Amino acid sequence: MSRVLVIAEHDGSILNGSTARAISCAKELGVDGIDIVVLAADGAAVADQAAAIAGVDKVVLVKNPANEHAVAALLAPQIQEIASDYSHVFAPSTTFGKDLLPRVAALLGVPQISDIMRVENATTFDRPIFAGNAVVTVEAAEGIVVGTVRTASYPVAENGGSASIEAREVSAELPAHTRYVSLATGGGEGRPDLQAAATVVSGGRGVGSEENFGVIYGLADKLGAAVGASRAAVDAGFIPNDHQVGQTGKIIAPDLYLAFGISGAIQHLAGIKDAGTIVAVNKDGDAPIFEIADFGLVGDLFEVIEELQKAL
Ligand SMILES: Cc1cc2nc3c(=O)[nH]c(=O)nc-3n(C[C@H](O)[C@H](O)[C@H](O)COP(=O)(O)OP(=O)(O)OC[C@H]3O[C@@H](n4cnc5c(N)ncnc54)[C@H](O)[C@@H]3O)c2cc1C
C-alpha cells in the first residue's frame, strides 16, 4: 500500500500554510492515503488545523518536550521511525523543510528530490534548475521517496476535511549534540510569514540604507504584508537575510508583489516567477524588472510610497 506522510510546519500553535501547499502536491501522487505528522511539545491545536485540510486521512501527533522547537537534528530520527509505514515523505521546500528533509533522507539512506514543482507519476517529478530557467524530470531511486515541495507551484489545499488524530509514541534515540538556544529574527516580528503572505512589499539597493527601509516596513504594515528584499539590500546590511527573495533566498508566490528600487536581476526574478501581480517602482525606465512587471511606475520610490501612504 502506498501512503504519503507530510511533515507539518508550525510554530507550536499555528499550522504554516506551506503544509497545505505540500498536501496539494501529495494529492497528485495518486497514492492510497495522505497523512500529516505533527511533531510538537503539545501540538493539539496544530493537529486540529491539519485534520481540517481536505484530503488528509490521518494526523499523527508526536508529543515530546524535545519537539518544542523545530530542531532538525531532533525531529529527523523521529520521522525516520515513522517513515517505515510510508512510501513517500514530503515537506514544504521552506527553510524548515530544507533544513529537515536532507537529514531524514540521509537517515533513510535515500536521495532527496528537491523542489518538486510537478508530479509526473508517483516516482517521477519535475523540478526547476538554473534559477528556474530550465525544468528537469527526475526519477526517485528505489525505496521511500523523500521530497521537498516547491510551495510556489501549489495552491493551499482547501479546508473541509475531518481526518482522525492519532497520538503516536516514538522510541527513537535523540542526539544530544544539538540543542535549541534561541531564535533571532529581524523585521519579521508580528508580520506575515514571507513564504505564506498574500502581499509582499520588497525593497532593493535603491532603498539606500537600513533607516530608509523604515518606509518599506511602514507600507507593509499598512497593507498587512510581509517584507522582502533583494540580495543587494541584504548584502548592504539594510535588512536581515531571512527576508531575501530569489534564487539564493526565498521562492515566493504572493498574490501581489510590490518591488521598490529593485532592478530585476535574473536571480531575483527566480524568486517571484509565480507571484500573481507584480508592481515595480524604479527611477530607471530601462530597469529589467519592468519587462516582467504587470504594472510599472518610473519614479522615485520614496515619493511613490509617500503618496501611497496618504491614499491608504
Ligand atoms: C549566484 C547568485 C545568486 C544570487 N541570488 C540572488 C537572490 O536570491 N536574490 C536577489 O535579489 N539577488 C540575487 N543575486 C544578486 C543579483 O544578481 C543582483 O545583484 C541583485 O538582485 C541586485 O539587487 P537590486 O536590484 O536591489 O540592486 P541593483 O541592481 O543595484 O538595483 C537597484 C535599483 O534601484 C533603483 N533605484 C535607485 N534609487 C531609486 C529610487 N530612489 N527610487 C526608485 N528606484 C531607485 C535603480 O534604478 C536600480 O534599478 C544573486 C547573484 C548571484 C551571482
Q: How far is the CA of 148 from the centre of ligand 1 (A)?
A: 28
Confidence of residue 186 (pLDDT cuts 50, 70, 90): low
Cα distance between residue 213 and residue 210, in whole Å? 5
Atom of ligand 1 nearest to the CA of 204: 26
**Is the pLDDT confidence value at 131 over 90?**
no
pLDDT given at position 188? 66
Indicate which residue's Cα is closest to atom 7 of ligand 1.
246
Confidence of residue 184 (pLDDT cuts 50, 70, 90): confident
pLDDT given at position 288? 98
Pairing assessment for the beta strands 124-129 and 118-121 based on DSSP bridges? antiparallel
User: In 52-151, which ranges are continuous DSSP H helix?
Assistant: 72-83, 95-108
Q: What is the mean pLDDT of residues 22-48?
A: 97
Q: What rounded mean pLDDT belongs to the chain?
A: 96
pLDDT given at position 85? 94
Indicate which residue's Cα is closest to atom 29 of ligand 1.
263
Q: What is the mean pLDDT of residues 218-243?
A: 97
Percent of the residues in the chain that have a pLDDT greater than 90, as a whole number: 94
68-114 residue pLDDT tens: 999 999 999 999 999 999 999 999 999 999 999 999 999 999 999 99
Determine if ligand 1 sits within 6 Å of the CB of residue 267: yes
Residue 23: partners with Cβ closer than 8 Å, 6 or more residues away: 6, 34, 36, 53, 55, 56, 157
Q: What is the mean pLDDT of residues 55-69?
A: 97
pLDDT given at position 190? 80
Are 16 and 9 spatial neighbours (Cβ–Cβ below 8 Å)?
yes
**Is the pLDDT confidence value at 298 over 90?**
yes
Strand order in the sheet with 3-7: 112-116, 145-149, 88-92, 3-7, 33-40, 58-63, 164-167
Q: How far is the CA of 111 from the centre of ligand 1 (A)?
A: 34
Best of 130, 202, 210, 230 for a ligand 1 pocket test (most atoms within 8 Å of beta carbon): 230
Determine if ligand 1 sits within 6 Å of the CB of residue 91: no
Determine if ligand 1 sits within 6 Å of the CB of residue 205: yes
Q: How far is the CA of 131 from the centre of ligand 1 (A)?
A: 15
**Is the pLDDT confidence value at 136 over 70?**
yes
pLDDT given at position 130? 87
Best of 209, 245, 257, 263 for a ligand 1 pocket test (most atoms within 8 Å of beta carbon): 263
Atom of ligand 1 nearest to the CA of 203: 26
pLDDT given at position 132? 83
pLDDT given at position 187? 64
pLDDT given at position 133? 86
